[in-house]
Amino acid sequence: MDKKTIKDIDIRGKRVLIRVDFNVPLDENQKITDDKRIRAALDTIKYALSQNAKLILMSHLGRPKGEIKPEYSLKPVAARLSELLGCPVKMLNDCIGPEVNEQVMSMKSKDIVLLENLRYHKEETKNDEQFAKELAELGEIFVNDAFGTCHRAHASTEGITHYLESAGGFLVGKEIEFFQKVITAPEKPFIFILGGAKVSDKIPVIENMMNKADAILIGGAMAYTFMKAQGIAVGSSRVENEMIETALKILDKAVSCGVEIVLPVDHVITDNFEKSENVKTTESKDIPDGWMGVDIGPATVSLFSEKIEKSKMIVWNGPVGVFEKDKFSKGTKAIGEVIAQTDTVSVIGGGDTAAAVAKFGLEDKMVHISTGGGASLEYLEGKILPGIAALSDK
Q: Which residues are catalytic?
A: 37, 198, 351, 374
Lateral strand order in the sheet of 90-91: 90-91, 112-114, 54-58, 15-19, 141-144, 165-168
Q: Write out the E strands in 78-171.
A: 90-91, 112-114, 141-144, 165-168
Q: What distance in Å separates the CA atoms of residue 254 and residue 256, rounded to the nearest whole number?
A: 5
Residue 129, SS3 per DSSP: helix
> Do 372 and 150 touch, CB atoms closer than 8 A?
yes
**Other CB atoms closer than 10 Å to residue 66's CB: what's the count?**
14
HSE-CB at 378 with a 13 A cutoff on CA atoms is: 16
**Contact 178/205 with Cβ under 8 angstroms?**
no
Beta pairing class for 292-296 and 267-270: antiparallel
φ, ψ for residue 314 (rounded to 5)? -130, 135
Burial label for 45, CB within 10 Å (0-12, 13-18, 19+), is buried
Peptide bond into 189 cis (omega under 30): yes
Between strands 112-114 and 267-270, the pairing is unpaired
